[in-house]
Each structure stands twice: as C-alpha cells, then as structure tokens.
Amino acid sequence: MTMRTILLLVAVLAAGSAWAEDAAKPPPLDAGKYPAEVQKALRYANEECKSQGGGEVTFAHDTVTTLDLTGGGRRDYIVDFHHTECAGREAVYCGTGGCTMEILVTLPSGKVRSVFNDRVRSYEILPDRVPDRSAPRTIRFELHGSYCGGHGNPSCPREKRITTAPFEFIMPK
C-alpha cells in the first residue's frame, strides 16, 4: 500500500465513524410538543439557571418521559432534570438530596396537573403486579436519608402509587 492509499483509508474510516456517532445521537428535546403545564416545568429550568448566574440550558433527550401512570388511559409526564445542564452552574438542578423531578398527570377533563415536585436521588417505575392497564403505577423513589430520620446516606426508599391526587414526602421531626 502506498502512503496515499493509507491516508485515504484513514480519512474514510474517520468520516464513517463521525457519521455513525452523529446518527446515534438522539434528537434534542422538543418542548413544543408537550402540553403547556409540561412546558412550564421546562421553563423553570431556564429561569432557575438564569437566576443563579448560569448560561444556556441543555436538556437531555429523556428529560420528559410520557406514559400512563394513573391507569386512566391518558398521557402522564415525568420531567426529570438529572441530565439537564446549566452552563457555568453545575449544581442548579441536583444536589445531595437528588435532582429536581416533577410528575404531571392528565385528569379525565384533559387538564394536566402537577402531583409531585421535589428532589429525588433516583426512581424506578415498578412493574405491574397485575396486568391491568387501568391500575395506577407505583414508583419507588430514593430520597435523601433525612426522610427516614437519618442523614445523607443511606438513601431513604419510598413507594407511591400515582393517582391524580398531589402528594409529597415529609421528613420526620
């Protein structure tokens, strides 16, 4: 092989690799495709970043998850800021208590209501115990240890069936 052939081969491989990387990259979050209440939750991120002296906000492609949480056959939403970035300010959405998360559910009237908004270390939507799509889903939350009367670690697990009723987790006194 000549040097020219080797250089051409390297250039082709590099171009193919860059193309594959771009093709694998998920599209950016399109806030406009969500209801006004979800858009309001996303605007919070911009307002909070700006209020703390940060720059541009970058949403992860999975910032908003759409699924039926209440069993009502309607779209419900989880807005999770775990992977949202505020340029110049790393701790805007996350801290020792976790990251900002909001759950919004769609009522039978079609109105969207926030039922939970707090910091969560992590969460898991538990599998349906009964394959009944009309039953509310249960989420296991990992919260700051103080919710269990402790300190930061270990985390405090809490489970909640998601309905249209707002809820919050209360720290013991």
- Provide the 10 A C-beta neighbour count for residue 141: 21
pLDDT at residue number 168: 97
Cβ pair 101, 81 in contact under 8 A: yes
pLDDT at residue number 152: 82
Q: Which two tokens stand for residue 112?
A: 């969207």
pLDDT at residue number 7: 47
Q: Within the chain, which residues score under 50 in pLDDT? A: 7, 9-10, 12, 20
Query: Which amino acid is present at 161?
Result: R
Q: What is the pLDDT of residues 17-64, one digit of tens each?
A: 555 455 566 677 888 899 999 999 999 999 999 999 999 999 999 999
Three-class DSSP category at 155: coil
The pTM of the full predicted model, rounded to 2 decimals, is 0.82
First to last CA, the chain: 76
pLDDT at residue number 53: 93
pLDDT at residue number 99: 96
pLDDT at residue number 128: 76
Q: Which two tokens stand for residue 152?
A: 């930061």
pLDDT at residue number 64: 97
pLDDT at residue number 1: 61
Three-class DSSP category at 61: coil
